[in-house]
Chains A and B, each alone.
Chain A
Amino acid sequence: MNPFTYARAHSPAEAAAAAMQSPGARFIAGGTNLLDLMKLGIETPTHLIDVNGLALDKIEATPQGGLRIGALVRNTDLAADARVRRDYSVLSRALLAGASGQLRNRATTAGNLLQRTRCPYFYDTNQQCNKRNPGSGCAAIGGISRQHAVIGSSTACIATHPSDMAVAMRVLDASVETVQPNGARRVIPIADFHKLPGNTPHIETVLERGELITAVTLPAPLGGTHVYRKVRDRASYAFALISVAAIVQRDGTGRVALGGVAHKPWRVEAADAEMAHGPTAVTQRLLDGATPTTDNEFKLQLVRRTLAAVMMQEKGAKS
């Protein structure tokens, strides 16, 4: 690990301004992803700004009837919050499906959104990776790609976004609140927050240099049945092959988002309109234009079958 200087931030605006001043700076909160990558020489910050002391650890009701989740709310606390369990259970379920108890106790809401891919070629510094070393090529393309993206990928990158939480936030239409180095604040819809890889897979979000996430807001509860179904190689403590986050209403309408299939949480609003027509129709819309590899084309059928299981689970719950 390269040496770095370390400072504790005292306000969000101060932290953002400090990050702007120091080109090699990174914010650190839980550190569960950043420190791992620093040990491997994939992240090489020269200055760490510890944001843990900022008062961003509350979950508050919004005037619109939703919730504002502070950027530093730990994954354990968000999953266990009584309002989240009752009104946004897809989010509780997604959080509890991810990582381990120890990691959820440290990992934060903002940090979870900013998790980097678990592509093994990104993690292996001996391999070509356009995300780690722009312009070097992608060893995953033509490599072992069972875990990789099936849609929205590019000739530069086929990595997936690893978060479960972000998939639930996408189906809930959450918004990301930030403060910029000049003190200005902005609100970014979760749909626009993560980017597809294109020719710049190293740019993963629309955040600008120094910009700090302060909160994630959820709109008023949508009702319906909330389901998060994750399919993985182990029953616990593994990243998703695919996951389905769904909210199904009593009349069969609803909305759905997928994890493990793309560079960002994957949702196609037009597919929501197919909910009443069954899992095959929804999957066709969701994965229209998919470009799987021979290693991961099984994910297309896995999505359809998992979605079918989710929709049957909802029917069973109603009867």
Chain B
Amino acid sequence: MEEFSDIKLSRREFVMVGAASVSAVAVPAGAATPTTQRTPASMTPVAANVSFVVNGQPRSLQLDTRTTLLDALREHLHLTGTKKGCDHGQCGACTVIVDGRRINACLTLAVMHEGAKVTTVEGLGTPTRMHPMQVAFVKHDGYQCGYCTPGQICSAVAVLDEIRAGIPSHVSPDLNARPHASPGEIRERMSGNICRCGAYSNILEAITEVAGSQS
């Protein structure tokens, strides 16, 4: 089990502390209280245990209840493929797949996912055994700086699953007909993933190729 107090200061947090804006992550070690202890209206951090399966591996963590799934993945499990962009559910860089569904890892607490199956970009493929979507992003140059890419890829994999499951979208002309992976459908369904470099046309080509090879 990873300990609640096992929090190391990253360079970024060190800079924040140095600037006298103490981040919530930088709580003093040993300040953890047991799960059952109630400390209402207190500034004392509260710890809780959570166990879930990440990329096929069971993981147990003791975390500050405030820890988002995103921070649990990045700061505690050191799976830094999943990115923190806006941290407010607006950019989609933190998209991961939980129990088969894509979600914003920044807008959910880790402790809410007891028993869940989490897939991050690291779980989709490896550099030597890439997922077809990863292969297609490389082939079509579906990125420039690459920061949004893990979220784009997780989202894209889930989008094709959603289309296969018959889930309609805002641009589906007939709600009662099966949707197809048309460019319009893919654009609409990917609208929760922002790319500041503007690689959208190449991202669309990559997803379209994978959709075509699967159909």
A→B interface (CB under 8 Å)? 1-6, 8, 22, 24, 28, 30-32, 35-36, 39, 46-48, 50, 52, 76, 79-80, 82, 85-86, 89, 92-93, 96-97, 99-103, 105-106, 235-237
Are A3 and B43 touching (Cβ within 8 A)?
yes
**CB of B112, distance to nearest CB on chain A (Å):** 6
* Alpha-carbon gap, A1 to B193, bound state (A): 25
Per-residue 0/1 for B169-197: is the Cβ within 8 Å of any A Cβ (1 yes, 0 no)? 11010011000000000011111110000
Known: A96-B169, A106-B103. A236 touches B191 (CB 8 A): yes
Q: Which chain B residues numbered 89 to 127 have a C-beta less than 8 Å away from chain A?
A: 89, 92, 95, 101-104, 107-109, 111-112, 114
- Chain B residues lying within 8 Å of A106, measured Cβ to Cβ, are 103-104, 107-108
B132 interface hit (Cβ, 8 Å): no
Assess the B65–A85 pair: CB atoms within 8 A: no
Q: State in angstroms the CA–CA spacing of A35 and B102 once bound together.
A: 18
Smallest CB–CB gap between A126 and chain B, Å? 16
Q: Is the CB of A5 within 8 A of B168?
A: no
- Chain B interface residue count, CB cutoff 8 Å, equals 51
Question: Contact at B176–A86, with CB atoms within 8 Å?
Answer: yes
Q: Tell whether B74 is near chain A: CB-to-CB under 8 Å.
A: no
Is B209 interfacial (CB 8 A cutoff)? no
Residues of B within 8 A of A101 (CB): 102, 155, 158-159, 162, 169, 189-192
CA A46 to CA B46, docked complex, whole Å: 10
The chain B residue with its CB closest to the CB of A47 is: B40
Whether A1 lies near B66 (C-beta < 8 A) is yes
User: B114 contacts which chain A residues (CB < 8 A)?
Assistant: 8
B42 at the A/B interface (Cβ < 8 Å)?
yes
**Is B170 touching A96 in the complex (CB atoms < 8 A)?**
yes
How long is the Cα–Cα vector from A101 to B161 in the complex, in angstroms?
12
A5 adjacent to B38 (CB under 8 Å): yes
Q: Which residues of B contact A102 (CB under 8 A)?
A: 89, 92, 95, 102-104, 155, 192
B191/A100 in contact, CB under 8 A: yes
Show 23 A/B contacts (Cβ-Cβ < 8 Å), sorted by A. Answer: A3-B39, A3-B42, A3-B46, A5-B38, A5-B39, A6-B46, A24-B40, A31-B108, A39-B87, A46-B42, A50-B111, A79-B168, A82-B176, A93-B170, A96-B168, A101-B162, A102-B155, A103-B104, A103-B192, A106-B103, A235-B188, A235-B191, A237-B191
A interface secondary structure, majority: mixed
Instruction: State the B residues within 8 Å of A (CB).
Output: 24, 37-46, 48, 64-66, 68, 87-89, 92, 95, 101-104, 107-109, 111-112, 114, 155, 158-159, 162, 165-170, 172, 175-176, 187-193
Q: Which residues of B contact A89 (CB under 8 A)?
A: 175
A92 vs B172: C-alpha distance in the bound complex, in angstroms?
11
A235 to B191, CA, bound (A): 9
CA distance A24 to B39 in the complex (A): 11
Is B188's CB under 8 angstroms from A236's CB? yes
Q: B176 CB to closest chain A CB, in angstroms? A: 6
Contacts of A1 in B (CB 8 A): 24, 66
Q: Chain A: which residue is nearest B187 at the CB level?
A: A236
When chains A and B are docked, how far (Å) is the Cα of A102 from the Cα of B189? 9
Q: Which of A35, A99, A102 has the most CB of B within 10 A?
A: A102
B95 to chain A, nearest CB (A): 6
Known: A2-B43, A3-B44, A93-B175. 15 other contacts (CB 8 A): A3-B42, A5-B65, A35-B107, A36-B88, A39-B87, A47-B40, A76-B101, A79-B167, A85-B175, A92-B175, A93-B170, A96-B168, A100-B92, A106-B104, A237-B192
